[in-house]
Amino acid sequence: MPVPDILWPVAAILTGIMLLVWSADRFVDGASSVARNLRVPPMVIGLTIVSIGTSLPEMIVAAMAALDANRDLGIGNAIGSNIANIGLVLGVTALIMPLAVKSMTLRREIPVLFLVTAFAFALMSDGELDFFDGVMLLTGLVLMLIWIARIGLKDRHDPLVQEFTESIPDQMTMRQSVFWFMVGLLVLMASSRMVVWGAVEVAHALGVSDLVIGLTIVAIGTSLPELVASITSALKGEADMAIGNVIGSNMFNLLAVLAMPALIYPGTFAAPALLRDFPIMLGFTIALLMVSFGLKLGKVNRFEGALLLSGFAAYLYLLFLQA
């Protein structure tokens, strides 16, 4: 593909990602306001709708890619986003502002993240994601949402619960809520289509696999909501929410995002996703556990943030060498 021709796919990716971030916010604002108008407890809204909102770009992109018979892009997006969330998002956030883990809810969620990771690995270990795997992943998602909501209702004074509750947008009328909900949903679908088309065209032009594009360009792009949310939370002194965004998003990626290709376009996937990328994702998850419960009494300092970011850069270099 000539250089001028590749500019259009790149522009589609960049524009699509910006619209994905914007529309995900509008969708979450609308959905949260609809729930509040229906008298759903704010705590439940904050711990479910708001927390899942940062994973919406990955979910929609994975679904659109699967509809185009491209499961590797969605799988790469899910695994790559988890690596980017810990290495890039948490690394950059800790460099800007050291993070102290105070929330008991958060300390319970980190071990659950390991259980979710092991569950996803067990389903993928045969080298394919079939329809039954997708049903199992969605079942796990529902159970996780119920668990999170129950913890939130029980531990009302937990810092993480309070921070998520305060993040709910101001009250809107039902008409305004439905309007922004629909606008967000429609733009999400259109922008994700732009990202998928651009990613596939760039992969073909550069001669690399759809999996690698999903692990890099698409994963980093769809992790931007987590990056913005975590940095904003850290600057406000809401360290628990900054880390909570990463942990929650990673669990949603493994349960909800991986379910999209399994349900829409089931079948075998590229072997490196399981043999190379999943173990690296597990390594970053272990690093998250170590820095969150380490010798610094649950404080992620700037040095640890630099290590996470360096690890992410090393992973990108590995993909570059192998591609």
Query: Quick one: pLDDT at residue 127?
Result: 93
Q: What is the mean pLDDT of each run of 10 residues along the chain (323 residues)?
A: 71 88 82 78 65 78 90 94 93 85 66 91 94 96 82 61 58 83 87 88 86 90 79 73 79 93 95 95 90 62 90 94 83
**What is residue 295's predicted lDDT score, i.e. its pLDDT?**
43
Say how many domains are in the chain: 1
pTM: 0.85
DSSP letter (8 states) at residue 169: P
Number of Cβ within 10 Å of residue 310's Cβ equals 12
**Range(s) of the domain holding residue 136:** 3-322
Quote the tokens at residue 301: 């300092």
Specify whether the CB–CB gap between 276 and 74 falls below 8 A. Answer: no
Residues 6+ apart with CB under 8 A from 24: 53, 54, 56, 57, 184, 188, 225
φ, ψ dihedrals at 238, nearest 5°: -100, 70
- By the 8 A CB rule, do 248 and 28 touch? no
pLDDT in the model for residue 272: 95
Strand, helix or coil for residue 219 = helix
Residue with tokens 């419960």: 293
Q: Reduce the secondary structure of 102-136 to three states and give it as a string.
A: CCHHHHHHHHHHHHHHHHHHHHHCCCEECHHHHHH
SS3 call for 236: coil
At residue 101, the pLDDT reads: 65
Q: What is the CATH number of the domain that holds 93?
A: 1.20.1420.30
Residues 6+ apart with CB under 8 A from 27: 53, 56, 180, 181, 184, 185, 188
Residues 163, 47, 182, 264, CA torsion sign: positive
pLDDT at 221: 84
Give how far Cα 46 sits from Cα of 152, 192, 197, 244, 264, Å.
9, 25, 33, 12, 29
User: Which residues have C-beta within 8 Å of that of residue 269, sequence separation ≥ 6?
Assistant: 71, 72, 75, 124, 127, 128, 129, 211, 261
Query: 198-212 burial, b for 16+ CB within 10 Å, e for fewer?
Result: bbbbbbeeeebbbbb
